[in-house]
Amino acid sequence: MTAARDLVISDLRERIAALEGEGNRKVGSLPFGVPRIDAVLPGNGLAFGALHEFAGGGSGTVDGSAAALFAAGVAARTRGPIVWCLTRPDLFFPALAQVGLKASQVTFVESDKEDDVAANMEEALSYGGLGAVVGEMVRLPMVTSRRLQLVAERTGTMALVVRRWRRQTEANDFGQPTAATTRWRVSVMPSEDLPVPGIGRARWFLELLRSRAGECAEFCVGACDDQGRIDISARFADGQDKAGRSRYSG
């Protein structure tokens, strides 16, 4: 009985997936290597060929440094060259090198206008064969995000958008819907305690605000290590952050 039902359901799933993704959609995902996070995401990881959105929380909305480093950690775990589109060149590459990106791997494309960032990202995504395309953007309207998502679907390249506002008040924009497959908010938290004076491993509060066909969740994680991996922070390993709140899933 159950076996037959499983068969029917999996058959239905396949047919729906064939309807949704036109043509030969490249499937696959990039797992975080953290079972609890991967379990929440459909496909057990960040999907390739999709748009993912990251924003900083708290005072990090203006500089977006945690969001940028988180995106860099994801990009570092993909294969192939990375294109990073931006307008404000204040990234300090040694920090990105510390999460596993190689200097010879990342090409920066700096433009004067905000609109060019989206156009450049689209061009890089449609080129194919890249590991990931990262863009730092102030505004991400529905139309732009939809275009990026469609191009990413076509070539199977991962698109990562780091939202970066100029003022704290502009950050309300993050409430607007976009076509991104997942949306994350990364906020900094006090670092791990060391037995001696000093700063331990940085920790982030990771909120999965939206995940297409998945649940929302929040995690407290240790920041990216030298290979771009995050892990669930030791203090929260007892599961107190496990209660995923499904505010607007789907």
Partner 1 sequence: MPAAKAQAVFRGLMLIDADPVADSVALDRLGLWALGHYSPIVAVDGTDGIVLDTEGADHLQGGELPMITGIVNLFRAKKLTAKVAIADTWGAAHACVRAIKRDTVIVPRGEIVRAVEKLPISLLRLPEKVVQDLRVLGFQTVGELSNTPRAPIALRFGPEVGRRLDQMFGRMSDPIDPIRTADLVAVSRSFQEPIGAAETINKYVGRLVVQLVAELEKRGLGARRTDLIIHKVDNTVQAIRAGTAKPARDVAWLTKLFRDRTEKIEPGFGIEKLELIAVSAEPLVQEQKASSLVEEETKDFTPLVDIFANRGQRVYRFAPFPSDIPERSVQRVSAVAEQSDVWWVRHWRRPVRLFDRPEQIQAIAMMPDYPPATITWRGKRHRVRKADGPERVFGEWWRTPNELEAVRDYFVIENDGGERFWIFRAGDGIDPETGSHKWFMHGIFA
Instruction: Identify residue 239 by its one-letter amino acid code.
Output: G
Which of the 8 DSSP states describes residue 25? Answer: P
Which of the 8 DSSP states describes residue 224? Answer: P
- Please state, in angstroms and rounded to a whole number, the distance separating the CA atoms of residues 35 and 22: 30
Task: Residue 247: name the closest of 204, 187, 161, 185 by CA.
Answer: 185
**Smallest distance, Å, CB 34 to partner 1?**
18
156 vs 214, beta carbon nearer partner 1: 156
150 vs 202, beta carbon nearer partner 1: 202
**Smallest distance, Å, CB 161 to partner 1?**
16
- Please state, in angstroms and rounded to a whole number, the distance separating the CA atoms of residues 115 and 92: 23
46 vs 189, beta carbon nearer partner 1: 189
The 3-class SS string of 105-119 reads CEEEEECCCHHHHHH
What string of DSSP letters covers 126-143? HH---SEEEEEES---HH
**Smallest distance, Å, CB 44 to partner 1?**
24
Q: Which residues bind partner 1 (CB under 8 A)?
A: 58-60, 63, 65-66, 68-70, 79-81, 83, 90-98, 102-104, 106-111, 116, 120, 123-124, 127-130, 186, 188-191, 197-199, 202-204, 223, 226
Six-digit token string for 105:
């791997």
DSSP run (H or E) holding 54 = strand 51-56
Q: Which residues pair with 210 in a beta bridge?
A: 183
**Smallest distance, Å, CB 147 to partner 1?**
17
**Cα angle 95, 186, 131; round to 5:** 60
| Coil/strand/helix, residue 6 | helix
159 vs 179, beta carbon nearer partner 1: 159
20 vs 226, beta carbon nearer partner 1: 226
Six-digit token string for 24:
């030969």
**Smallest distance, Å, CB 69 to partner 1?**
4
21 vs 81, beta carbon nearer partner 1: 81
131 vs 214, beta carbon nearer partner 1: 131
**Smallest distance, Å, CB 220 to partner 1?**
11
> Whose structure tokens read 């029917």?
8
